[in-house]
Amino acid sequence: MSVPTAAVDDFPELVGKAPIPRSSLWEYVQASGLRSLVVGTSKNPNAKITVLLVSPETRRPVVAVKVPTTHAAAKAVEAEGGMLIDLRNLGPELTETIPRVVDVVEFEGRPGIVMTAMQGTPMSTLYLRWRHTARPRRVAAHFAAVETWLAELHRRTAGEIGPLDMDGGVVSVLSRRFPESERVVEDGERLAEIYMRLRRNSVPRTAVHGDLWSANVLLTGGRVSGVVDWEAGVVFGEPVRDLVRFALMYALFLDRRTRPGRRVAGHPGLRAGDWGAGVAYALDGTGWFPDLFRRFLRDGLARLGAAPESWRDATVAGIAEVAAFADHDEFARLHLDLFRRVAPERQAAHTDAAPAGLAGRRS
């Protein structure tokens, strides 16, 4: 099966127009003449299924098919398809790391997208290898590869300059998602102060992946050869979000194989214990990993034109973003608890009145 060249007009359902009749997923798989391998069945409430179609001759994937299992998942798949269409002309090398939509299929009455398959080894596979995260050079190579790729994405998609904005509706979503929490108003007030400080910086609007973590990054020869799962992406958004998300998720699982109370291999300053201990260690601990974590964020902020010392505020804001928008409720709640542990206390000068824009939210 050769990968076809498709025009935007071939996918009306991905650009807000009326859909046209499509082959079902299983009809498409049978007609392809390729072997199929189901590689993604998420445990999230709004799960997507990903099927790789593999050449029997080369044993390499040719295309990946992503189909939704719920109405909300269908919206996410359609959003990803539209995002990939918008990113189709970023120029050589970078375009090769981003899937290209080549067809649309039907699955249980909902549209699914067929994309070119990205080649390489998922960074998460390398991350999970025995003691990978205990080795500074290997971890530093992962951060360097992602920084190189992000810098090129930002350079090619940079648009107008605006205040560094990590809100994106986080405060209002948190108040709706956790209405039973007596502390949610205080959470909003602490976030408002963080956002106010961050907005003193100006950065360009760029393309944003939205869920940039090790499972969505593929590597070949130490370089990023593919970045997948663009369903949370935007064409012009806040680039600091991707910087923060990658660093946060890398830190989050440092203690995944360590029993509670024990030191984490390669990280003398980190003991497994409370959920999110790796993030707290990256924020406030000492050692080679906290140094690498902070340098990655400082350098990225400086490259975008923001103050490097804003790295901690940006990271804490990123934790709140996960709490607001994570699909899995328990994962979201754990991030809200983590935010409350690491966020700075409100400044004394602001304790008598709610920050601007929060008076209505308080009620």
157-170 pLDDT tens trace = 999 999 999 999 99
**Inside any domain, residue 51:** yes
Are 83 and 154 in the same domain? no
**Inside any domain, residue 245:** yes
Q: Is the pLDDT of residue 21 over 60?
A: yes
Are 129 and 26 in the same domain? no
Q: Provide the 3-class DSSP secondary structure of residue 286.
A: coil
**Inside any domain, residue 243:** yes
Among residues 116, 147, 179, which one ends one of the domains? 116
Residue bearing tokens 């700075």: 344
280-321 pLDDT tens trace = 999 999 999 999 999 999 999 999 999 999 999 999 999 999
Domain that holds residue 35: 8-116
Per cent of the chain over pLDDT 90 is 83
Are 110 and 246 in the same domain? no
Give the amino acid at 329: D
Please calculate the CA angle 304-309-312 and round it to the nearest 5 degrees: 100
* CB-based burial label for 351 (10 Å; 0-12, 13-18, 19+): exposed
Q: Is the pLDDT of residue 356 over 60?
A: no
pLDDT of res. 352: 42
Of 278, 279, 323, the C-alpha closest to 181 is 323
**Inside any domain, residue 70:** yes
The answer to whether 297 and 356 have CB atoms below 8 angstroms apart is no
**Inside any domain, residue 1:** no
Model confidence, pTM: 0.90
**Inside any domain, residue 2:** no
- Residues contacting 17, CB < 8 A, separation 6+: none
Are 274 and 338 in the same domain? yes
* C-alpha to C-alpha distance for 142 and 218, rounded to whole angstroms: 10
pLDDT of res. 319: 98
Domain containing 93 — which CATH number? 3.30.200.20
Give the amino acid at 187: D
Are 136 and 190 in the same domain? yes
Which of 282-286, 326-330, 342-346 ranks highest by mean pLDDT?
282-286
Confidence of residue 20 (pLDDT cuts 50, 70, 90): confident
Residue bearing tokens 């308080």: 362
Beta strand spans in the chain (E): 35-41, 48-54, 61-68, 101-107, 110-116, 121-122, 161-163, 202-204, 206-208, 217-220, 223-227, 234-237, 263-264, 267-271
Are 99 and 168 in the same domain? no
Q: Is the pLDDT of residue 4 over 60?
A: no
Q: What is the DSSP letter of 118?
A: P
Among residues 52, 84, 116, which one ends one of the domains? 116
Number of domains observed in the structure of the chain: 2
**Inside any domain, residue 3:** no
pLDDT of res. 350: 44
CA torsion sign, 345 to 347 to 348 to 353? negative
3-state percent breakdown (helix, strand, coil) of the chain, nearest 5? 45, 20, 35
Are 294 and 320 in the same domain? yes
Of 215, 207, 176, 199, the C-alpha closest to 323 is 176
Mean pLDDT of 205-221: 97
Mean pLDDT of 133-150: 98
Are 90 and 131 in the same domain? no
Among residues 116, 146, 164, which one ends one of the domains? 116
pLDDT of res. 40: 65
CA distances from 267 to 23, 141, 177, 251, 277 (A): 52, 17, 35, 11, 12
* C-alpha to C-alpha distance for 131 and 112, rounded to whole angstroms: 38
Q: What is the DSSP letter of 287?
A: S
**Inside any domain, residue 110:** yes
Are 38 and 174 in the same domain? no
The answer to whether 225 and 219 have CB atoms below 8 angstroms apart is yes
Q: φ, ψ for residue 103 (rounded to 5)?
A: -170, 170
Are 101 and 174 in the same domain? no
Domain containing 172 — which CATH number? 3.90.1200
Q: What is the mean pLDDT of the chain?
A: 91
Compute how many other C-beta atoms are within 10 angstroms of the C-beta atom of residue 205: 19
Q: What is the DSSP letter of 253?
A: T
Confidence of residue 143 (pLDDT cuts 50, 70, 90): very high
Mean pLDDT of 28-53: 85
Higher pLDDT, 62 or 3: 62
pLDDT of res. 12: 78
